[in-house]
Amino acid sequence: MDHLEDSLAPFRAGSVPYLNTAPLTRGLEEHLAFAPPSELARRLRRDELDAALVSVTEVLFHDRYDILDGIAVASLGEVQSVILAHRGPLEEAREIYCDSASLASLNLMKVILAERGLKPQLKPLPDYAGAAGLDNVFMIGDQAIAFTRAPHGHQILDLGAAWHEMTGLPFVYAVWALRRIPNTALRRRLREAKAFGMEALDYIISSRTEFDYNFRKDYLGWHIHYHLASDERRGIGKFIELLRKHGLGPVYEPRFVA
C-alpha cells in the first residue's frame, strides 16, 4: 500500500475526527483535513474540499454531490455513539440540547421523535462539560461514548437501535461525499484506504488509545460496519421517505458512483 503514502493532491479531502472513521482513512491521515461533520459540510459547500466523509444528509439535502458506492459508516442496531440521554419520559421532554457537530444523526433523532408524535424544542448544547447536568441531551461520536461510560443519571436511547427497531434496516450515518468533478484517481485512493483499513482492523483496534480495548473491539468490530450495499441503500431510501413525510427537506435522490 505504498501508494497511500502519496499526497491526495490535487484533491482535497476531509474526515471527522472520531474513532469510528479510523478504518476508512487508514494511510491517508496526514493528507486529510479533520473537522466535525457540520464544519466539513460547510467546507464542501464552499468548494474548499473535493470529498469528505460526511453526514449522509449533506448529500440528501444538497444536489451537488455524488456518494462513493460501497463505503459507509453504518450500524445494524445499537451504534453506541449516537444517543439521546433523558432523565424523565421522552414524552414529557419539552426541550433537548443538541450536539452542534451533528447533521445526519440530528435529523435521525427528529425522524424518530416525529414518528412517535414528539416535537420538543431543540436547542444547541452549550458545551460537553455541562451535558450531565441537563435533563435531555443529544450527543454523537466520541463525546457520546464518553458520556454513557461516565456516571450519569439518565436513560439512554441509542438511535441506531431505535431506527432498527422501527424499520428493520441499517442506518447510514456517513458516506464519502464527492464534488461532481473529474475524480477517478481520488475515488480509487479512497477505496484503497478502506481496503487497507479493513485488512488492518485488528491492528487499529489494538493500537488506538480511545477508551479501552474491549470497547474498541466491540465498537469497531461489531456495532459499526463499513459497507454500503443493498440493505444500506434501502436504509437510506427509508430515511429519505421519512424526512419527506415529516417536512425535513427538500431531499434529493442520491447518486452513487463506483
Class for domain 2-77+169-257, per CATH?
Answer: alpha beta
User: What residue spans in the chain does CATH classification 3.40.190.10 cover?
Assistant: 2-77+169-257, 82-167
> Tell me, what's the pLDDT at 6?
55
> Tell me, what's the pLDDT at 201?
97
pLDDT (tens digit per residue) in 163-174: 999 999 999 999
> Tell me, what's the pLDDT at 3?
47
Burial letters 4-36, b for 16+ CB under 10 A, else e: beeebeebbbbbbbbbbbbbbbbbbeebbeebb
> Tell me, what's the pLDDT at 249?
86
Q: Closest Cα partner for 227 from 65, 31, 23, 58?
A: 23
- What value, to the nearest 5°, has the Cα angle with vertex 151 and ends 149 and 154? 90
> Tell me, what's the pLDDT at 81?
94
> Tell me, what's the pLDDT at 172?
97
> Tell me, what's the pLDDT at 5?
45
pLDDT (tens digit per residue) in 193-206: 999 999 999 999 99
Alpha carbon distance 118, 89 (integer Å): 12
Grid coordinates belonging to 76 = 445494524
One pLDDT digit (tens) per residue for the chain, 258 residues: 444 445 688 999 999 889 999 999 999 999 999 998 889 999 999 999 999 999 999 999 999 999 999 999 999 999 999 999 999 999 999 999 999 877 778 999 999 999 999 999 999 999 999 999 999 999 999 999 999 999 999 999 999 999 999 999 999 999 999 999 999 999 999 999 999 999 999 999 999 999 999 999 999 999 999 999 999 999 999 999 999 999 998 999 999 999
Three-state DSSP class for residue 185 = helix
**Topology, domain 82-167:** D-Maltodextrin-Binding Protein; domain 2 (3.40.190)
